[in-house]
Structure 1
Amino acid sequence: MPLSSRQQAVVDGWLPGAEVVADHAWGLVDTTVLQVRHQGQELTVKAGGPDNHHIGREIDAHEHFTAPLLPDRAPRLLHADRASSVLVTTWLPGHLVEGHAAEVQPETYRQAGELLGRWHGQASRPDEGWLAEQRDRAARWLDQPHRIPPEQVDLIQERLARARVERVTLVPTHGDLSPRNWLVHRGRISLIDFGRAAWRPAATDLARLEAGAWRDRPDLEAAFFAGYGQDPRATDWWPDTQLAEAVGTAAWAHQVGDEPFERHGLQMLSDALAG
């Protein structure tokens, strides 16, 4: 998606004469991700459409959550305009871990665990309603277009009806923690893409790893916790969280046409129901 005329004017004001080097958008949602060069410096420009909530959350993350990872393990915010849904950050060199040799190396996960530990450890607060909100969000996904098998929908609804609701501790979370949102550069891992960052229980950041990269790779899981520390999944409500995450992943991926990610969500769902 190209920048709107308003967004382009805002970016031109910040970065006059900037040259677009590459377009890194996934092409699935109305988010623009441009690598640009301005006065000899590589930068990232991200922008969203009128119904896009990710840019606002990304700005929130940069303003409140990323400090423990700066200056080089997360991008640094340089400019932001909430009204225009556009921001500029530093450009981090490297390759996406997904599809790279680093994706199957334990050291990658040890570093990712250490970085997430810094992110989670900066603040916490109690919350009485998060689990109920999670249950209700999962139920709403089932009312939207999806390709979850009908027999699984019945099982999900039964599970949601008896899902635990209790007080939990919330921390700043990344929200989409997986190798597709990690960079590797000269053996160092950094985190990117904070469009789902929010206050949640710490364990929620592990749902996609558990169903993906850690599947049949206990060595990668062990390496992650060597960096992170104590496993936050040791709760009675974790299975309900896995289920809700799987429902949201499968339905969202279907709606944006990301078939590989949809298959991943459906596998997450099968695993959650089997567990």
Structure 2
Amino acid sequence: MQWGSTGLDGAQVDFVRRTVPGATVTAIESWGLLDTVVLHVEGVEHDVTVKASGPTNTHFPRELLAHRRWTAGLVASGDTGALRTADEDLHVLVLDRVPGHLALGTDDEHSPDVHRQAGTLLRRFHDQHAVRDDGFLRAETAKATAALSSPHRIPAAAADRARRLLERSEPGPATVVPTHGDWHPRNWIVDQGRLRAIDFGRFALRPPAADLTRLAVLHWQHEPELERAFLDGYGDDPREPDAWRWLQLREAVGTAVWAFTVGDERFERQGHSMLADALSAFD
């Protein structure tokens, strides 16, 4: 595969070639929604994953921060790939290759054992640090409210009700921890039954329950045995009912608006479904 077909610019290609001797592109693994390019690159000594993006991409600095400050424990136990090198100006990361296949679309996506491992791994990531943040929930509420003023296709009645709820909410302080931000089988790699994690592009300090929102919508509604297995691995349930319904409301609004912005109709439909469920919790 030629470098010219990867989407990297010349400076980014030169950086990869300098830092990965004998670099050859084996596969393009991008999802195609943002300007993030993900490549499987073979080198003389080892395989790596290369992630590159444009200068305004917000996922790049989050992932770089996660690997520089928060993934060392997972790297030491072999549960994620190590950051080999990065160029902040060029927006390029070079990571050790994580062996295995994506859980998404395979039997592993629906395996209680894999979900139990996912709970155990996430708890270790969360338990590194916890701090009280007096402004987090207020900022998240303001962000969700502002999103409703952006272009979207949320039905008017649902948008109006969500806005009224958000505007009358009274966010208090929250305990925030290191969170992955997109914790579900699309970012789980399984190798001979063992789970590992990839893609920290949505990393941030958030309440721990924030990492359960994707799973709750995508799997637990229809496969409660996976929820039980996950929570068994995690050790308890970090969701407090009232805080959880507000989290689901903000997440649903953000999903529906963001998916419309990037043109992902499947994810947009999911956001609308999430919003209907979230609003029903306030009935």
- Do these two structures clear the TM 0.5 threshold for a shared fold by scoring above it? yes
Answer with 43-52 or 136-145: which moved more.
Answer: 136-145
**What letter corresponds to residue 182 of structure 2 in structure 1?**
D
1:154 maps to which of 129, 151, 160: 160
**What letter corresponds to residue 52 of structure 2 in structure 1?**
A
In the TM superposition, what is the alpha-carbon distance from 1:158 to its structure 2 partner?
A: 1.1
1:251 maps onto 2:257 in alignment: yes
- Unmatched 5+ residue regions in structure 2? 1-5
Alpha-carbon displacement from aligned partner over 1:67-123 (angstroms, at most 9, x marks no partner): 221242111100011111111001112111111111111101100000000000011
1:80 maps onto 2:86 in alignment: yes
Could you say which residue in structure 1 is the equivalent of 2:270? Answer: 264
**What letter corresponds to residue 142 of structure 2 in structure 1?**
D
Alpha-carbon displacement from aligned partner over 1:10-35 (angstroms, at most 9, x marks no partner): 21221233000000001111001000
Identity, % of aligned positions:
47
Answer with 252-261 or 109-118: which moved more.
Answer: 252-261
Give the distance between the partners of 1:160 and 1:41, measured in 2 at CA.
50
Residue pair 1:131, 1:164 contacting (<8 A) in 2 also? no
In the TM superposition, what is the alpha-carbon distance from 1:235 to its structure 2 partner?
A: 4.9
Matches within 5 A, 1:104-143: 104-143=110-149
In the TM superposition, what is the alpha-carbon distance from 1:36 to its structure 2 partner?
A: 0.3
Give the distance between the partners of 1:243 and 1:166, measured in 2 at CA.
16
Equivalent position SS for 2:219: coil
Matches within 5 A, 1:1-275: 2-71=7-76, 72-275=78-281
In the TM superposition, what is the alpha-carbon distance from 1:271 to its structure 2 partner?
A: 0.9
Give the distance between the partners of 1:101 and 1:40, measured in 2 at CA.
32
In the TM superposition, what is the alpha-carbon distance from 1:216 to its structure 2 partner?
A: 2.1
Residue pair 1:164, 1:240 contacting (<8 A) in 2 also? no
In the TM superposition, what is the alpha-carbon distance from 1:236 to its structure 2 partner?
A: 2.8
In the TM superposition, what is the alpha-carbon distance from 1:162 to its structure 2 partner?
A: 2.0
**What letter corresponds to residue 62 of structure 1 in structure 2?**
H
Residue pair 2:132, 2:176 contacting (<8 A) in 1 also? yes
Equivalent position SS for 2:247: helix
In the TM superposition, what is the alpha-carbon distance from 1:5 to its structure 2 partner?
A: 1.7
Give the distance between the partners of 1:263 and 1:117, measured in 2 at CA.
30
Residue pair 2:183, 2:214 contacting (<8 A) in 1 also? yes
Alpha-carbon displacement from aligned partner over 1:218-243 (angstroms, at most 9, x marks no partner): 11001001100121112532211111
Equivalent position SS for 1:36: strand
How many residues align? The count is: 275
Could you say which residue in structure 1 is the equivalent of 2:3? Answer: none
Residue pair 2:83, 2:94 contacting (<8 A) in 1 also? yes
Give the distance between the partners of 1:164 and 1:39, measured in 2 at CA.
57
Residue pair 1:94, 1:183 contacting (<8 A) in 2 also? yes
Alpha-carbon displacement from aligned partner over 1:164-183 (angstroms, at most 9, x marks no partner): 31111010000111111111
In the TM superposition, what is the alpha-carbon distance from 1:255 to its structure 2 partner?
A: 1.2
Cα RMSD of the aligned pairs, angstroms, is 1.2
Equivalent position SS for 1:89: strand
